[in-house]
């Protein structure tokens, strides 16, 4: 009997619970679809978790509320501030002619400096090219200065042979003199045509300290200025530059006074 009573009580409790559940259910809207936001946490836990993750509070982000400064006052746009700065720094209309004149003077000075720099650079470039060309042309100067004394020896040998009548009177001696003369002329010709080495004579020319070195001086009433009377050692030019001055005897104006 007691067991039947208990079963009837349980059945009544279940029926009451079902009735309470039916009363709690929210009526759907007119369209018949219940929005996701209206569902309880127990009905859609995944959506609630995603919404919590996307919320600004959970991510630590700060939502901008407009152009306000940190103290709460309204902040002006950057473009407006730049315009204000330009207006404050711009010169007055009365100062514009003076400012324009100053800028024109600065421009003219800068143009003049640029022209001078360009001219200086052009002169420097020309000077460097000349020095380079000169270095190429006179690169063999020291070698030629070593060869010139050998030519002097040939000249002295020829002069000595020509002064010996005994040597010239013999056929063998004359043939030897002709051979030495030919070698000397060939050597001088090759050096002049290929390397620009020229030998110059000074006898009868006015004395030039850039070309002549006076070994002896003698007064003469026959000259009005210093003149070269005799070459002791001939001078040489390399590309029109004197590389060895001629050693000469010089006649100067003057004479025996009675």
On whether residue 76 sits in a domain, the answer given is no
pLDDT of residue 85: 59
Range of the domain at 156: 112-195
pTM of this structure? 0.51
pLDDT of residue 83: 58
On whether residue 134 sits in a domain, the answer given is yes
On whether residue 250 sits in a domain, the answer given is yes
What's the CATH code of the domain at 237?
2.30.22.10
Domain final residue pick, 177, 195, 213 = 195
On whether residue 151 sits in a domain, the answer given is yes
Domain final residue pick, 163, 195, 227 = 195
User: Based on the structure, what is the number of domains in the chain?
Assistant: 2
Among 189, 191, 199, which residue's Cα sits nearest to residue 233?
Answer: 199
pLDDT of residue 41: 47
pLDDT of residue 5: 45
The string of pLDDT tens digits covering residues 116-168 is 999 999 999 999 998 888 888 888 899 999 999 999 999 999 988 888 888 87
pLDDT of residue 97: 86
210 and 190 housed in the same domain:
no
pLDDT of residue 242: 93
On whether residue 38 sits in a domain, the answer given is no
Distances (CA, A) of 67 to 45, 56, 63, 178: 38, 19, 12, 112
246-253 and 212-220: which strand pairing? parallel
Strand partners, 251: 218, 227
pLDDT of residue 56: 46
CA gap 66, 209 in Å, rounded? 95
Domain final residue pick, 143, 164, 195 = 195
124 and 172 housed in the same domain:
yes
What's the CATH code of the domain at 128?
3.90.20
Map the chain to HEC letters: CHHHHHHHHHHHHHHHHHHHHHHHCCCCCCCCCCCHHHCCCCCCHHHHHHHHHHCHHHHCCCCCCCCECCCCCECCCHHHHHHHHHHHHCCCHHHHHHHHHHHHHHHHHHHHHHHHHHHHHHHHHHHHHHHHHHHHHCCCHHHHHHHHHHHHHHHHHHHHHHHCHHHHHCHHHHHHHHHHHHHHHHHHHHHHHHHCEEEECCCCCECCCCCEEEEEEEEECCCCCCEEEEEEECEEEECCEEEECEEEEEEEECCCCC
191 and 201 housed in the same domain:
no
168 and 208 housed in the same domain:
no
On whether residue 46 sits in a domain, the answer given is no
218 and 147 housed in the same domain:
no
pLDDT of residue 64: 44
Residues of the chain with pLDDT under 50: 1-11, 14-15, 17-26, 28-29, 31-43, 46, 50, 53, 56-66, 69, 258
pLDDT of residue 240: 86
214 and 189 housed in the same domain:
no
Distances (CA, A) of 19 to 10, 40, 79, 195: 14, 19, 68, 131
In degrees and rounded to multiples of 5, residue 31 shows phi and psi of: -70, -15
pLDDT of residue 33: 47
pLDDT of residue 185: 93
On whether residue 236 sits in a domain, the answer given is yes
Among 65, 61, 62, 36, which residue's Cα sits nearest to residue 51?
Answer: 36
């Amino acid at each position: 009997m007691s067991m039947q009573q208990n079963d009837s009580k349980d059945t009544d409790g279940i029926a009451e619970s079902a009735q309470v559940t039916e009363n709690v259910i929210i009526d759907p809207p007119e369209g018949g679809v219940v929005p996701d936001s209206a569902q309880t946490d127990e009905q859609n836990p995944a959506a609630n978790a995603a919404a919590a993750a996307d919320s600004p509070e959970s991510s630590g982000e700060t939502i901008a509320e407009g152009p306000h400064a940190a103290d709460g006052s309204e902040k002006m746009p950057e473009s407006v501030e730049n315009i204000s700065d330009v207006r404050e720094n711009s010169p007055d209309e009365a100062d514009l002619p003076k400012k324009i004149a100053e800028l024109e003077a600065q421009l003219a000075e800068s143009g003049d400096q640029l022209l001078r720099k360009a001219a200086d650079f052009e002169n420097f470039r020309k000077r460097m090219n000349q020095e380079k060309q000169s270095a190429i042309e006179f690169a063999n100067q020291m070698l030629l200065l070593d060869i010139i004394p050998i030519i002097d020896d040939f000249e002295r040998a020829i002069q000595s042979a020509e002064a010996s009548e005994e040597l010239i009177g013999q056929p063998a001696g004359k043939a030897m003199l002709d051979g030495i003369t030919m070698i000397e002329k060939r050597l001088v010709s090759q050096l002049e045509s290929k390397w620009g080495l020229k030998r110059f004579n000074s006898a009868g020319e006015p004395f030039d300290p850039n070309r002549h070195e006076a070994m002896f001086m003698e007064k003469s009433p026959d000259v009005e200025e210093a003149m070269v009377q005799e070459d002791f050692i001939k001078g040489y030019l390399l590309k029109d530059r004197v590389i060895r001055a001629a050693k000469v005897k010089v006649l100067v104006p003057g004479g025996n006074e009675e």
